[in-house]
Structure 1
């Protein structure tokens, strides 16, 4: 089997439930060149080196095949301002300025109270969703005559982070059906199995323009009345270099809306699936006598079953770059397979074992370099709270099907549904 055919199998949905043996095959050559001229990098040290290499650009406008007219053609109304590149699509020094503005209004270190103040709400949302798993009699501690079947995705892992990101951005929760369709379009445009780079570029531009237009309508409807949400902070911010230009607010709000819930849905769902497959760890979490266990479980999940498996064509070489014994040619797209790197046995001992007691747990679950995941300070407590409360309150949870059905995307990988039978729900603590 060639590495190129291995990559094609990774993209094939039939291997979505367990791509890790294919990643092991892929790692036999740290860097491979695909027929379309792009390069796939799959080993830990090489990925880390490239994440920190300024010769790799995140700005797709540097690609030789970049179509400058694609955004305009992909947008129905198309003011160019709605298509301002997001913080993950630009390079320094512009990237650094935009990221500083976002960070200043998002959380630590400049606004530490924003995330901390959300903790009671996170607990409240999780408690309410788990209560809804069962009838009032179940919540009161009475037993039902048979098991209750819940879908961890639709009934819990999806509505929880959606509610959180809507609150953070000041987006009406009732708008979820509308923005979810646009979010799905953004995710599909990043799937390398759905067409060439130029075609995906057009679809991505259209999907992001639609989301930016949604935020423009949302802000217009406020009639200048701003609140204490992140969008308002960006528009009137008092930090250095503030406020952020209106067009950049729209584009980055679209990015945050998609990234703020899609990845966390997968992390929570992958986490619950992994705990059910490792009942001894689930029991430890349920007992609650290890205060730091939830944090260690989430860090190991980010290594072992991450929500983002690879960065597809989000980097391109500004010059010839030698890595892993291969020269990546100038102008070539580069795919970094983060999930493969986090299970690289040349860097991680016993990488295919789920071990929350692992020491020195370095992983690529949030990427690295200047584009390290902006939402990590929120995703971590969201997942810790979600998994801890599920462990504490679900009575005798067991999988209905293993493996469960998986989403289409090979890069944002997670179950589409996770059906679990439970014997009820224990009461929430007062």
Structure 2
């Protein structure tokens, strides 16, 4: 099969579609380059029962409502293993660690998230992310400086992939001499999120679990070092919290640090890469950004709506019968919230399939909503604003080598696996 055939978007003529089979087709790799026609079809039935018993929710207001509904559980312990769950399961967490707070419900979720947020962002630490701006800019500059003398680069491997790991190492206070090891563990953990058909899935998961174990052990040792000699990093702030009731335990600290690595890394890689691809497909916007760096703020918000890094939230569970959009989701049923479809809902957004950085009232679902709103959203926003602004400013005459590019297998964390960009040179 040629690359053109492999990455050809799924069309309505490819197969007979029904509301009960659309989720399977959306998660099929053949749809990865352009799932949006399938989302349009899915929205015809806002709450659609799938062939395996999963309920797919695809319209903006219904998704928004359920993200705030306490009758929806994110805790895998509430799932009925006999009730289906869709064609894809979420990445497994480390069996040696308890679930991170994004996989818990109140009150456990609320306590852990509140304690994790104290040193990370408002209201207790409102300037931690803001004050990293200059350092983030230096990291971006260093990565782009490495393009000197070249006429082509892979924006994923050479830029968007290493950048968030560098940022997370700085946040956690990882010593410079340990960053190489940290990168290796991050690579192995992240590789476990993508189902590569050429690799034995058991071996992939074994390698990912081993990397998680080694990463967790390293973080536990790092936490103890920061307890003895605190710095200005996130872990030091957590372990030196003066109020005993406001401290995370060692295990909770490790789980939260691993969460920051995985969730923060994947979201940012996809957002930067999807953003670069979108800008190169809209050269008039790229040129505007080059001359007006202030455009980066609304531009990133529109990217989060137009090409969100997380396309859907799979395998939530109904804790009670839920009456919504003329349908009843029964207690115990698995639910998928299709965020990217809600972001293109014409009942909520005018001309939703157009990329408009000046869109008003852009309350997208790119980072979710409700109690599970993305923990690292402020950091991902700032990283992407700086990254895209510098790409626009420094790459001379950038252009896509392949369009569409090859995509990652994972339909939840959707983004190009590689993004080859040619350019005429690098400006300072």
Q: TM-score, normalised by structure 1?
A: 0.85
Partner of 2:357: 356
Partner of 1:317: 318
Partner of 2:100: 86
Size of the aligned set, in residue pairs, is 394
User: Is 1:376 matched up with 2:361?
Assistant: no
User: Is 1:22 matched up with 2:38?
Assistant: yes
Alignment of 1:44-123 (within 5 A): 44-65=60-81, 82-123=96-137
Partner of 1:43: 59
Partner of 1:339: 340
Offset, 1:21 = 0.3
Structure 1, 28-37 or 118-127: larger mean CA deviation: 28-37
Distance of 1:271 and 1:126 partners within structure 2? 15
Partner of 2:286: 282
User: Is 1:263 matched up with 2:267?
Assistant: yes
User: Is 1:152 matched up with 2:155?
Assistant: yes
- Alignment CA distance shift 1:57-1:208 (3 Å): farther
Offset, 1:333 = 1.6
Give the SS at the match of 2:426.
coil
Distance of 1:208 and 1:280 partners within structure 2? 43
Distance of 1:47 and 1:383 partners within structure 2? 25
Offset, 1:220 = 5.7
Partner of 1:143: none
Distance of 1:180 and 1:224 partners within structure 2? 29
Which digits, 9 at most, give the CA deviation of each residue in 1:155-204, with x for residues without a partner?
1111111100111122332121123212332x248x9xx99xxxxx9999
Distance of 2:233 and 2:180 partners within structure 1? 17
Q: 1:44–1:347: 8 Å Cα contact kept in structure 2?
A: yes
- Alignment CA distance shift 1:320-1:202 (3 Å): farther
- Alignment CA distance shift 1:214-1:183 (3 Å): farther
Q: 2:165–2:186: 8 Å Cα contact kept in structure 1?
A: no
- Alignment CA distance shift 1:323-1:240 (3 Å): farther
Distance of 2:317 and 2:276 partners within structure 1? 35
Distance of 2:64 and 2:208 partners within structure 1? 26
Partner of 2:256: 252
Distance of 1:128 and 1:419 partners within structure 2? 19
- Alignment CA distance shift 1:209-1:63 (3 Å): farther
Give the one of 125, 131, 143 matched to 2:139: 125
Give the SS at the match of 2:396.
coil
Consecutive aligned runs of 4 or more in structure 1 exceeding 6 Å deviation: 201-207
Give the SS at the match of 1:331.
coil
Which digits, 9 at most, give the CA deviation of each residue in 1:339-372, with x for residues without a partner?
0000011111110000011111110001000010
Offset, 1:415 = 0.4
Partner of 1:406: 407
Unpaired runs of at least 5, structure 1: 67-73, 136-146, 196-200
Which digits, 9 at most, give the CA deviation of each residue in 1:226-285, with x for residues without a partner?
433212222222368321111111111111110111110100010010001001101111
Offset, 1:113 = 2.7
Q: 1:97–1:241: 8 Å Cα contact kept in structure 2?
A: no
Give the one of 189, 196, 206 matched to 1:182: 189
Give the SS at the match of 1:106.
coil
Distance of 2:420 and 2:93 partners within structure 1? 38
Partner of 2:236: 232
Q: 1:182–1:210: 8 Å Cα contact kept in structure 2?
A: no
Q: TM-score, normalised by structure 2?
A: 0.86
The root-mean-square deviation of aligned C-alpha atoms, in Å, is 2.7
Q: 2:46–2:59: 8 Å Cα contact kept in structure 1?
A: yes
Q: 1:31–1:324: 8 Å Cα contact kept in structure 2?
A: yes
Q: 2:339–2:365: 8 Å Cα contact kept in structure 1?
A: yes
Which digits, 9 at most, give the CA deviation of each residue in 1:361-386, with x for residues without a partner?
11000100001011111111111110
- Alignment CA distance shift 1:59-1:18 (3 Å): same
User: Is 1:4 matched up with 2:8?
Assistant: no
Partner of 2:166: 163
Give the SS at the match of 2:314.
strand
Offset, 1:326 = 1.3
Q: 2:407–2:418: 8 Å Cα contact kept in structure 1?
A: yes
Unpaired runs of at least 5, structure 2: 1-16, 83-91
